[in-house]
Chains A and B, each alone.
Chain A
Amino acid sequence: MSANANKLQTLPRAAALTGFTTLFYKEWLRFWKVNVQTVLAPVLSALLFLLVFGHTLRNSGDPYPGVGYTAFLVPGLAMMSMLQNAFANSSSSLMQSKMTGNIIFVLLPPLSHREFFFAYLLAAIARGLVCGAGVLLCTVWFVDLRCEHPLWLAVFALLGSAVMGVLGMIAGMQSNKIDELAAFQNFIILPLTFLSGVFYSMYSLPPFWQQLSHLNPFFYIVDGFRYGFFGVGDVSPWFSAGIVAVCLLALSMLTLWLVKTGYKMRH
């Protein structure tokens, strides 16, 4: 064994990129290795929602002109799956790593806070997109789904997964135990997702609840994504994109600062 102990190589720029891509790859492998649990199970859940809600509410009238309830439901379910899984990816990875102590494998290397942040974020987006694509691939055969504005569809898929990936990082850093993370999921993420218009159009709600829906940023993600399919939405996609982009920027700044200070990780 001949470890070249005393020759410290200068860290090239490419090495920093390798650190970032390795962390992203590790996070990708982490969910892909258990894809039955992380991809197939959420897709199955979405299919069950489609079966139950699509069957029971199919005669409740068209939410948008010319768009049946089942077709209306599919983009919402796909986005819900994206949101929940992007959140689950970064939050569970960070929380579990902290709980088991293997977070030190990521904290000891010369990774910057930006490399750390973007690697976790990208992996969360990747899982969100894989789950969303899975839901669409499995449901597209049962409904007449148009795709009026693919660019908007892609924009909201990316923005939605990114917002939730960042929120997941915050929750993962904040939580030291499974029940703390579960509280974050059950009392914040789940209500905001279910009340975001996944299952209904905002205009089917009483005025008070319509107003309240405007305070839910998830509503803009779901509505903008649905606009990408049908070319119709409850609000303008530009407005929705603006709201979501501002949320993403604010949350990202906060998370970058938390990672830089080593919040609940380097202590």
Chain B
Amino acid sequence: MIPAIQVDQVVKRYGGFTALAGVSLQIGQGEFFGLLGPNGAGKTTLISILAGLNIATAGSTTVMGHDVVRDYREARRALGVVPQELVFDPFFTVRETLTIQSGYFGLRDNGAWIDELLHCLDLTEKADTNMRQLSGGMKRRVLIGQALVHKPPVIVLDEPTAGVDVELRQSLWQFIRRLNQDGHTIVLTTHYLEEAEALCGRIAMLKRGEIVASDTTQNLLNRFSGCQIKLKLAPPGLPAELKPLLAQGGGEDCRLSLDGYDGVERVLASLRTAGVRVLEMEVAQPDLEEVFVKIMNH
């Protein structure tokens, strides 16, 4: 099957600065893929190259098998992009915005699909409202509608929940999950790593323009197979021999990093020997945030 997205040795340089240093990745059709990285890692540059908003210095990129430069019409028709910034055209209403965007993609008489989109995005009542009069959350939903107006098989969401309240974030993810279930390939960049962990089947992590990790979410979590133990101790607190394991805190409230669950018993034994009473204890698996921090600090 043709990959939804194929990125092959893509380099992007701005003068002496290298934003992308030979990035390669493949995203299969129907995947929910996460692209993570700190600010300035190159995520938005990579998305811009995919969308034709930026031109790579070297390498090739295809969307549904169509080269984004040579075969740009088909590549762009196959791609819907929800940009990071809340951009809008203040001259138009919500319906006009969607109708015009639909026309750019060569679609006339797209009213039925636009009505369905308005309904799904809870914008039906605002259809004839000028874009300027919408709240930030509503503008974000219109941006999603614009990305979907031509029914693209691949959808890229560049930090779609930045600055969005919890309720809207939940409803957006519900909607995007449905799109994925309907067969759309979803590529997501986000700084909310718990979202990426819950939604993405596969994740790539970018650091300074290079992919430093790319695997299924579960494999990434398993790669750091250790666990953490949160302790609340009675005085005198953590004995000196356990201090090398300290991940956070110290004294009576602390968090220790262990190589595996068998380390828990060794910690408890050390505490017993030192005569320190355990008031509270919680064993936790590492989450994506910890994996992310470890990979980025590696």
Contact = CB atoms under 8 A, between A and B. Distances in A.
B238 to A, nearest CB: 51
Interface residues of B, number: 45
Interface string B63-80: 010000000111011110
Interface string A100-126: 111011111111100000000000000
Interface string B85-118: 1011111100010001101111110000000100
10 contacts: A3-B148, A3-B151, A5-B179, A6-B153, A21-B103, A29-B92, A104-B81, A105-B89, A106-B104, A110-B77
Interface string A6-45: 1011011011111101110110011001100000000000
A262 interface: yes
Contacts of A107: 52-53
Contacts of B78: 8
B55 A109 contact: no
A102 B101 contact: no
Nearest to B74: A11
Given A18-B107, A102-B88, 10 more contacts: A6-B153, A9-B77, A19-B103, A26-B92, A101-B83, A104-B87, A105-B89, A108-B76, A109-B101, A110-B72
B55 A110 contact: no
A126 to B, nearest CB: 16
A8 B74 contact: yes
B178 interface: yes
B182 interface: yes
B39 interface: no
Interface residues of A, number: 41
B183 interface: yes
Given A101-B83, A110-B73, A5 B54 contact: no
A2 B105 contact: no
B120 interface: yes
A19 B149 CA distance: 14
Interface in A190-214: none
A105 B91 CA distance: 14
A100 B90 CA distance: 10
Contact of A102 (B54, B89, B105): B89
A1 B100 contact: no
Given A19-B103, A22-B103, A266-B52, A105 B182 contact: no
Nearest to A119: B104
Nearest to B185: A5
Shortest Cβ-Cβ A-B pairs, 8 listed? A15-B106, A22-B103, A109-B104, A110-B73, A101-B87, A5-B183, A110-B76, A5-B153
B89 A2 contact: no
B182 A1 contact: yes
Nearest to A16: B106
Given A1-B178, A11-B74, A111 B104 contact: yes
A3 B149 CA distance: 10
